[in-house]
Chain A
Amino acid sequence: MTRVQRTISLLCASCGFAAIAPILPAPRVEAAQTIYNTSPPSVIRVAIRENNASGEPDPRGRIIYVEAVPFATYCEDVLPNEWFPSWHPEALKAGAMAVKMFAWYHHLHPVTIDGFTFDVDNTTNFQHFQEMSSQPTTNAAFQAIQKLAYTKPNGEIVELNYSAGYENDPNWQYRNAQKMAQWGSEYWARKGQSYLQILQFYYQNRALMRLQ
């Protein structure tokens, strides 16, 4: 192939790409959502899913309606259903932080399913929310971390994931997956670790921030 032919073929290819460019989706440009450019949510939209036959919310059930719940109330009504209220206060504080940051992240990333736009649902698809189920011990843990956030060092809000884990075990494999093990939080708290040390163990490259 001569140089002229190569140039012509390149020109044709460029024109072709230019012609289909409007059809192709544009790359998404997202600014990082940080604690500096977003405010803590005051309300969160919770999709209430249909109950199963035994009366419990079904993670695959139909969405019945979307309820706007005050953010603090939401966190307080999630924590006793995700962590045991009888656990060590430091484990509950670590759990409260994870519950709060998970909800905050999803508040910034709402989804639309079956025509409903919401931030989270009331099942273990997101976090197990049960209205008016707050407990004194878990409320105290949430109050203790209410003015704090656990984010990337630049303040970017990230989802703090967590999962059950194994009882009486440090659950190292969850640290590798950058998830907190709920049983692991209790294990470390009983070993004398503070909630910050527990968070630092499971989530790396994160920082504790004070909210203005």
Chain B
Amino acid sequence: MKRHPSKRSVIIASLLASAIVVAIPTQPQIGALRHAHARTLHGAIAAMAPAGIDPVEQRTEAAPQAKPPVSEAPAPQPRARDAGNGKPGPGKVPVQPNPSGSKPKASNPSSGSSAGQAKPNASSGASPATPKPVPPPSPAAQGNDQPAGPESWGYTRKTAKLRIRVIDGRTKEPIDGAEVVLIETEQRFKTDAQGFTPWFDAPVIRNPKYRPMVAELHGQLGAIAYKDGYRDSIHLGIRVHEGIRQQTTIWMYKIGPADRRIEPVLYQEPYHHLWLIQLADKFRSHTQPGEGPERP
């Protein structure tokens, strides 16, 4: 009995493997020119969610800008829960991470057009994880029709009106002239005598890692407050709901003579507990029900 393959079978297998490798397209746009659905999905993160969660309003917004290519496949219907939350689907082509801080070039991220399409991690050479410190234009300057960042990172076109109040954590008196930086957009604001920043357009950013599991019910933002004589305060997880006015408070602590190791103070705002209840219910099994499903 032969225990090893012959030379001829090894050569044939190698040739077959090479042919298969060559047949795999390295430039998906070329191979996908004739397939609208392939173009739409190119560059999307497959693990995000099915393509059918595009909110209706975003599709209608996108329609007048550029006609999507005609496809034989019927348009996917948005799911009720996701449509209400206004989240983009991965069917959209993610916009360039945009390290230069300028407005993303993709004129219509949801149209699926391959012309002018920005690929992630392409051409600019800069890593998306290390953007330049140049502040990008605010969402208000960009207009509300464009997200402040790549949609695959959770950015949406929706914004909320937000203002941040800075107070002294011990006396609870407002702090005038503190500088507040919104981390996600790198916008800077000064507080007034009441400790408030002006109202500004804040992007609604939902954590994309949760989208396949349970729709996140609010976005989250981070801000840092600076003031001479105070510890820096980092405030993460500011809850943001699109379309309403919201405010949050940053507590700052004065640096005293006994403070030897001076480091920033972190405050992490928790998720809303209604969302946590939904999240826990989502994965509950019959064999290990824990506290059991939500009930009166």
- Residues of chain A touching chain B, judged by Cβ–Cβ distance below 8 Å, are 54-56, 81-82, 84-86, 124, 128, 132-137, 163-168, 173-174, 176-177, 179, 181-183
Contacts and interface: CB of A to CB of B under 8 A. Distances in A.
Contact of B273 (A55, A128, A135): A128
Contact of A165 (B167, B246, B294): B294
Given A81-B273, A183-B274, A166 B294 contact: yes
B277 interface: yes
Contacts of A134: 247
Contacts of B268: 54-55
A30 B218 CA distance: 45
B217 interface: yes
B80 A168 contact: yes
Contact of A136 (B80, B243, B246): B246
B294 A137 contact: no
Interface residues of B, number: 26
A61 to B, nearest CB: 14
A196 to B, nearest CB: 21
Interface in B230-289: 241-249, 267-268, 270, 272-274, 277-278
Contacts of B243: 86
Nearest to B267: A55
A54 B269 CA distance: 10
A186 to B, nearest CB: 10
Given A135-B247, A179-B296, A86 B273 contact: no
B89 to A, nearest CB: 20
A92 B241 CA distance: 15
Contacts of B217: 84
B294 A86 contact: no
